Structure 1
Amino acid sequence: MKTLALLDKYNRPVPRYTSYPAMPFWKTDKFTKEQWYKNVSETYAADPEQPVSLYVHLPFCEKLCTYCACNTHITRNHQVERPYLEALTAEWNLYCSLLGKRPQITELHLGGGTPTFFAPENLASFLRTVLGPEPRAAREAFSFEGHPLNTSDEHLRILHSFGFSRFSIGIQDFDPRVEYLINRFQTPEQVQRLTLRARELGYTSVNFDLVYGLPGQTREGLKKTIGEIIAMRPDRIAFYSYAHVPWKKPGQRRYTSADLPDGAAKIALQLAGREMFLEAGYRDIGMDHFALPGDALLDHARLHRNFMGYTLQDNKILIGLGASAISETPTAFAQNEKAVAAYQDSLAAGTLPTEKGHLQDKQDLYLRRQIMELMCQGVTKLNNLQSASLAPAISDLEADGLVRFQDNVLEVQAAGRLFLRNICAVLDPYLHGAQQDTERFSKAV
């Protein structure tokens, strides 16, 4: 089967391109906090009425999901909630001072960790500071992540009152053996009950997260899970590849590589899931995502991609609040301190907790636009120098039926949608000049 051969050929470590350059290539030695402050303030001053996007990282979880590669802090001590939210508020106030006022927010996402670890009343107190006390109309771009076992009616009602209309549930797999190995348990009945309740309360979009390539996962088990998912008819589905990085995330040492589907088996999982989604009427969006017909994200002409994923919001400023949160402007990226204690200490001292970042040069900006276009619209135009220097690599992609290249226009073909990361990597000079080690990035599939 040609697709299996291609998946095997292109299944190598490459960036996910949530930023360009990818984070390992950020020139952190040429970046200072002061430069970041100036960059943000000047970007906003150029249009003081512009809206911003806001990402809030809430890292706490009561127990460790062993597969997870996110920045998390495991504790059952809920006394951590208020000090952390106070630090978030302090960070928000510092950004408001930097901008000269509280900006309009048209995109807001609560990520984690487990945002619903926090008591509903504590989240409400924080959101009143950020958004104001008055109720807000539901907004398509206000979303949060919730765990099926601790997301309550009160969470759903309070967040909806602040304008949240999208709700994402992390499922991964319903197979009991997989759930045991990844230490994450929920039943289809619990997920369905939560989904129905969210819709009753007025949520217009429910997203399910699934992961393929997990320890103990089989094709039959995953197909059963997907069948149960499709029956619930979520509006969107994210179908991610498991990234095995035990050198970064010790929790993944609960199992070994022998417990993981091998290359061919993992590829079969990906293809089986994709086929089931498409047969059920879902359409694919860029990379890893599927949506029902009529979903706004299927408007590829307006599609944009940032650290929060695919979106229709193309705000110039994304402010990331919280430990490890990432912010961006059209010409720079910045990441906060990763450790909760270091993050809170910085704010206690009255300074933004920026830990590292990258200021983009002209080549970065040019390539960032091209990679964004490939990820979202599936087409971009190269200059003559690129066309000449990249001709062998592009010819290889074209011979495999992944792209069409004519008159300097590089267009992703239907077969190439599975290999967006690889296609973008061809354009990436940072990647070409780097040592190709397996610990820098996860594999494409």
Structure 2
Amino acid sequence: MIDLAPYVPAGSGLWWGQAAAESGPLVDALLDQVTAIGPCRAFCGLTWNRRVTHELPEALSLTSYGALGDLRALSREGRLDVVPVHYSGLPRLFAEGLLPSDVGLLQVSPPGPDGLCSVGIGADYAADALLHTPTLIAEVNHRMPVTRGTPGIPVERFAATIETDRPLVAAPEREPDAVDEAIAGHVVDLVADGDTVQMGVGPLPTAILDGLAGHRDLGFHAGMATDAVLRLVEKGALTGARKEIDPGVVVTGTVIGSIELYEGLDRMPVEFRPASYTHSPRVLSQLRSLVSINSAIEVDLTGQVGAEVRRGRYIGGIGGQADFSGAAARTGSRSIIALRSRSGDEPTIVPVLRGGVVTTARADVDVVVTEYGAAHLRGATPDQAARRLIAIAAPETRDELARSLTT
């Protein structure tokens, strides 16, 4: 095991990559040694590392942009600090030292003949953060693919390295159910041939992407890509031929999915770009064909979207929703919010946002979709918007929603 003490003094601020790009061995070493090192603070994104969420030492305080993946457990215990930030804002927070950035823990590919290591599937916020991090420690994993889109890192830039040969971590997966398929059917009708789509991960995005297999010349530009994106490429539906920028290229910050996805990247015309590119307003404004497809916790009758507060607890996770929704609504093709009409025992179309926090403004939402249909809000008056949203709400809530308009 690597001794981190020479590189991580007490009081250090650390960050590491997320999802399959997280360096499990280096993070585990930190968890094992931080008590002896002294109090430190850290930033990470989506994690499936149960040691982080179930064995977090008191000496390590953790910050994230959202209670994602296994971080939900820490959030419930009150041990996770969440920073409300658009994903496009993360590079600036690292640049200004507002997020921990003394030490970065990276998982990279072995160096090539030029002595450069690839960030592999983990560009996203890591490729921006490392520019402002004096000390980098790397896990050089022989299974990490060399990817295009982000400059390589000279091996001498690392203060220390460890070498591994382990498979990347596959994402937990839930298959789409009948409700996901119903929502996807309505969304697919809103996407035209040649559109450039953006969406996240999960069973609903999987159902939507699989439903687009009959389309032609679709493009893809997003913070994350999944197995379903690879399937669209292999079926010939996703070519990027009509993209206004990066034609013929799938642009993403990371991939989240199966081992087959990670091993199949060489069959995919993909470039991995940092968040400062994938979520940049300047970049997104050039994609006139952009269709953003995002989800939410709730939508009120004015069309305001809440995605940060669940059952009274702030979980954050603004992510790229507002970045992409705003760009799609203002300079792109269409901004879509897709969600179930109910989440457990709670309706998702509500008179007023229960969480009290607006994640995406109503002016940046063109269409809201549930399993009951699509409510077109672009150009609608407040009264028209409310009545269209009621029509796609859970049927047993519609009368009460209608009464709320008169009280």
* Bigger relative contact order (CA 8 A; separation at least 6): 1
Same fold (TM > 0.5): no
Taking structure 1 as the reference length, what is the TM-score of the superposition? 0.24
Taking structure 2 as the reference length, what is the TM-score of the superposition? 0.26
- Greater helix share, structure number: 1
